[in-house]
Amino acid sequence: MSESIVLTRGVPANESFAIDDLVECAESALRDYGTTILQYHPPKGFLPLRAAIAEREGVPVEQVILGNGSIQLLDLLIRTTLSPGDVVLVERPTYDRTIKALRRAGCQVHGIPVESDGLAIEALTRAMQRWRPRMLYLIPDFQNPTGATLSAAKRTAVMSLAAQYETLLVADLPYRPLRYWGQDAPALSDCGDAPLVQMSSFSKLISPGMRVGWMIAPEPMIEAMSTLVESACICPGMIPQGMVYEYLRRGLLEPALERLKALYAPRLRACLDSLERHVPGAHWVKPEGGFFLGVTLPEGITARAVREGAKAQGVTLSDGGAFFPDGDGSRFLRIPFCGVAENDIETALTHVGAVIQEMSVTGR
C-alpha cells in the first residue's frame, strides 16, 4: 500500500508559501517598523495594515480590526455581541468552528440548507419569521464545506431579509479571492443595506501559520471587541501584521493570487473529473473556486462506512457530522482539494468510488 492520502483539513499547499518574499518582508518590517511591531500595541492591530485593508475594501479605517486569524475575531464578535440563548442562523452544513464558538457563548444555532446556489431562501424566510435571529453567519463564496456560492439573486434576498428582521449578517470571505473560473458574484454590500460584518484573512492567500485575519464591522462593535482584546490578550501578534503590510505594499499579493489559482485550479478540475468518472450515484456542488467540495453520498451509503472503507485503501477522509449544527451529515463528505496533488486526488476518489460501488453491490 502506498503512503496515505489525507483529505481531511483545508490547508494551503506547502509549495504555495513564498518563502523568499516573506523573508524580505520580515526584514523590512523589522527594520522599518521594529519599535512599533516589537512593542506592546493598541488592540486593533497595525495601523498601516488596517488602512491598507480599509482602502481595498472601501470602508473607513475605524471599521477595521485585525486579529490572530479571522476565527479569533469571530469569537470576539460573538462574545461581545451575543448573549446566552440568542438565536443564530448558519448554513447547514457550515464551518465547524463557528458552530462551536456560538455554542460556547450559549447561543441556539439553527441550520438553513445550502443548495448549489447557496442558502435555501424559503427555509431562510421561515426561519427569520420564526426566530427573528440576532445573527446570520454565512460563507457566501465557495462555502466551507460545500463549495457553493450564493447567487446574485439570493444575495439580494438575504440582504433584504436581514434588513427586515434587523439580523446582523456576518459574511466570512476567506475564499472569495480564489476564483479559478467563472464570474465573481457581487459583494453583499452591493446587494442591499443590512447590518453587515465582513471578515477574512490572509491564511488562504499568504500563510495560515501567520494568523492574520481582519474584520470590518460597525464602530461600536469594533470598540467592544478591542476592549476585550486589550483585557484578554493585550494585542494581536504584530510581527506577521508588519510582514503582511509589506507584502501588500510591495504589490506581492496580486501575483501570489495568480500563482495560487494556477496551482489550485487543476486540483479542482481533477476533483470534479474524478467524481464524475469514479463516484456514481453521489451528488455534489460544482465550485468554481475555494478550497472545498462537498459530496452527498447515495441513499443508504453512510460517510462513516465510506471513511472506513477508504481508510483501508490508504485514504483518510474527515467526519462530516461536525459541519452540521443539528446532527445529520451522515451522508456528507468534505473533500479539501488544495493541499493535494492532482494524481493523489484522482487516486483517492477512485478508491472512494470503488468503496461506494462495493457497498451498493453488497447492499451494505
Phi-psi region of 249 (alpha: psi -120 to 50; beta: other; left: phi over 0): alpha
Q: What is the DSSP letter of 9?
A: S
Q: Is 81 helix (H, G, I), strand (E, B) or coil?
A: helix
The answer, yes or no, to whether the previous bond of 220 is cis (omega within 30 of 0) is no
**Minimal distance in Å, beta carbon 62 to a copy of itself?**
22
Q: Measured at the alpha carbon of residue 134, what is the angle toward residues 131 and 137, in degrees to the nearest 5?
A: 100
Instruction: Compute the distance between CA of residue 184 and CA of residue 149 in angstroms, rounded to an integer.
Output: 10
**Minimal distance in Å, beta carbon 212 to a copy of itself?**
8
Half-sphere exposure of 163 (CA within 13 A, CB side): 12
Site for a copy of itself in 307-326 (CB under 8 A): none
Where b means 16+ CB within 10 Å and e means fewer, 265-275 reads bebbebbbebb
Is residue 27 a contact point for a copy of itself (CB under 8 A)?
A: yes
Query: Quick one: which of 68, 94, 146, 189 contacts a copy of itself (CB under 8 A)?
Result: 68
Is residue 23 a contact point for a copy of itself (CB under 8 A)?
A: yes
Range in contact with a copy of itself (rule: CB under 8 A) among 19-27, 83-91, 143-151, 324-332 = 19-27
Residue placing its CB nearer to a copy of itself in the complex, 194 or 229: 229
**Minimal distance in Å, beta carbon 340 to a copy of itself?**
14
Size of the site for a copy of itself (CB under 8 A): 46
**Minimal distance in Å, beta carbon 13 to a copy of itself?**
10
Phi, psi of 316 (to 5 degrees): -100, 120
**Minimal distance in Å, beta carbon 167 to a copy of itself?**
24
Per-residue mark of binding to a copy of itself, 243-282 (x: CB under 8 A)? x---------------------------------------
**Minimal distance in Å, beta carbon 16 to a copy of itself?**
9
Residue placing its CB nearer to a copy of itself in the complex, 39 or 129: 39
Sign of the C-alpha dihedral computed for residues 214, 84, 92 and 346 taken in this order = positive
Instruction: Compute the distance between CA of residue 136 and CA of residue 157 in angstroms, rounded to an integer.
Output: 13
**Minimal distance in Å, beta carbon 274 to a copy of itself?**
25
Residue placing its CB nearer to a copy of itself in the complex, 140 or 240: 240
352, 353, 356, 357 alpha-carbon torsion, rounded to 10°: -150
Residue placing its CB nearer to a copy of itself in the complex, 236 or 290: 236
Site for a copy of itself in 80-109 (CB under 8 A): 97, 100-101, 104
Is residue 164 a contact point for a copy of itself (CB under 8 A)?
A: no
| End-to-end C-alpha distance for the chain, whole angstroms | 25
Q: Measured at the alpha carbon of residue 76, what is the angle toward residues 73 and 81, in degrees to the nearest 5?
A: 120
**Minimal distance in Å, beta carbon 55 to a copy of itself?**
24
Query: Quick one: which of 52, 65, 66, 71 contacts a copy of itself (CB under 8 A)?
Result: 71
The beta strand positions in the chain, using DSSP E, are 5-7, 64-67, 87-92, 108-115, 118-119, 135-138, 168-172, 196-201, 213-216, 283-284, 292-296, 315-317, 332-336
Residue placing its CB nearer to a copy of itself in the complex, 267 or 351: 267
Half-sphere exposure of 197 (CA within 13 A, CB side): 29
Q: CB within 8 A of 189, min separation 6: which ones?
A: 196, 198
Per-residue mark of binding to a copy of itself, 196-225 (x: CB under 8 A)? -------x---xxxxx--------------
Is residue 144 a contact point for a copy of itself (CB under 8 A)?
A: no
Per-residue mark of binding to a copy of itself, 35-64 (x: CB under 8 A)? xxxxxxx-----------------------
- One-letter amino acid at 210 equals M
Which residues are near a copy of itself by CB under 8 A?
9, 11-12, 14, 17, 19, 22-23, 26-27, 30-31, 34-41, 68-69, 71-72, 75, 97, 100-101, 104, 203, 207-211, 231-240, 243
